[in-house]
Amino acid sequence: MADRNLALELVRVTEAAAIAGGHWVGAGDKNRADGAAVDAMRSFLSTVDFNGTVVIGEGEKDEAPMLFNGEQVGSGAGPASDVAVDPIDGTRLTALGMNNALAVIAVADGGSMFDPSAVFYMDKLVVGPEAADMVDLRLPVKQNIHLVAKAKGVKPNQVTVCVLDRPRHQGLVEEIRATGARTRMILDGDVAGAIAACREGTGVDIMMGIGGTPEGIVTACAVKATGGVIQGRLAPTDEAEREKAAEAGLDVDRILTTDELVTSDNCFFAATGITDGDLLRGVRYRGRTITTQSIVMRSHSGTVRMVEAEHLARKWEKYERLNG
């Protein structure tokens, strides 16, 4: 079992990625932003005392720089751990200077994370602890919204559903709005949206729709610490991917629970804001200092910590964006 002190060590890793990637906010170059965050995350991971293997890497989908699947990270001390990384969840958000970009890492006991390699997308439903035992991805959208409203003691028109802004969600959005519920459309970054659905005071009650399977597993690590729930169903994009899932022994009609996405009850999740968002404030560069806001969770203890940090800017000069 990974040591509880690992939680704050992981915050150092996401802070580094956020500070490095944050220099590229609004610069219009998502690959350079991602590359800076990857380099910083890799560098700081090497200082952490744990024996990690990256099982969910970053960058394969858009040919960006990446921490690759199978890469060994950490000092090698302690028990084996599965690691999921996304140095920038929301590279496009970062490049465009838009909200909800995060640096993210999740760690769990070795062999406990679901292998998402066969199917890259899944249909997801995420809610907080109040409605965790009531919702079901197999139910109609209207029924799930009414169940969440009942659990929270509000009317359906007071429920807000976070949805990725994609053409594939046109029908889903119409169903949500037909109930009277509101939508909060996000361009990217469904990890932030999913966690916001599990946290009070974010203005988000549910997250619905199809997003990345790797992000679903990262979300499951965080959700376990909040008492909320994520349910997923694999969503192959074509017949070839459906056949690949069958070859891997996966049932694409099965509902995957939080505990199936990550079987371990000793999960760590850390994220640092790159740009402002529903969950966290973005990096601030203030001459001599840099300030960050992070969240760190541990499922074993059910602890969620908010971490405000001030960093001396001169210690981070090697991660600054170079002109030209």
Binding-site residues from annotation for substrate: 89-91, 121, 166-168, 188-190, 212
Residues of the binding site for Mn(2+): 34, 58, 86, 89, 215
Residues of the binding site: 34, 58, 86, 89-91, 121, 166-168, 188-190, 212, 215
Which sign, positive or negative, has the C-alpha torsion 249, 253, 256, 257? Answer: negative
